[in-house]
Amino acid sequence: MRDVAIVSFVQSAVARDDRHNETEMLVPTIHAAIEQSGIAKNDLGFVCSGSLDYLQGGPFAFVSGLDAVGSWPPMRESHVEMDAAWAMYEAWIGIQSGEFDSALVYGFGKSSPGDLHEIMTLRPTRTTSCRCGRRWSTWPRCSACLPRRERPR
């Protein structure tokens, strides 16, 4: 096992922001992380991002995140449709295998830009059969089949 260290960590403010898109929020954060690391951008061996594009509602929305990193110099890049923890794992595997010696890992995402109360009422409900044969519209089981400690009171 190779020793792996996190040499820089930067986080943007976590607050509702209707004025900036994800790329505009990522640019200062990523630049600060690279600067803090002391590793020149052209010495980064790998870049991996994690985001939840389906929440944003746009296919391949992660591509706009690459604009924050910049396309020059050319570098190896990957994206995981999950979160930064999975991106970190992918980078860790690459470092352990000797594919590269350094990586920039970042995660980002904004929830849907719509009104939460409006969106949640549009969410489809699904009626399904439980293991016991009853019909229900919640997940994962009807309340009769839940263990006693999990039943609604």
pLDDT tens for each residue of 46-94: 999 988 765 565 667 778 788 888 877 788 999 887 778 899 999 999 9
More reliable by pLDDT, 3 or 141: 3
Long-range CB contacts (< 8 A, 24+ apart) of 139-147? Answer: none
> What tens digit of pLDDT does each residue of 33-52 get?
999 999 999 899 999 998 87
Q: Are strands 128-129 and 135-136 parallel, antiparallel or unpaired?
A: antiparallel
Average pLDDT, the chain: 77
Both tokens of 6, joined, read 């996190």
**CB 44 within 8 Å of CB 102:** yes
pTM value is 0.68
- Judged against a pLDDT cut of 90, whether residue 136 lies above it is answered with no
Residue 55: predicted pLDDT: 59
Model pLDDT, residue 138: 47
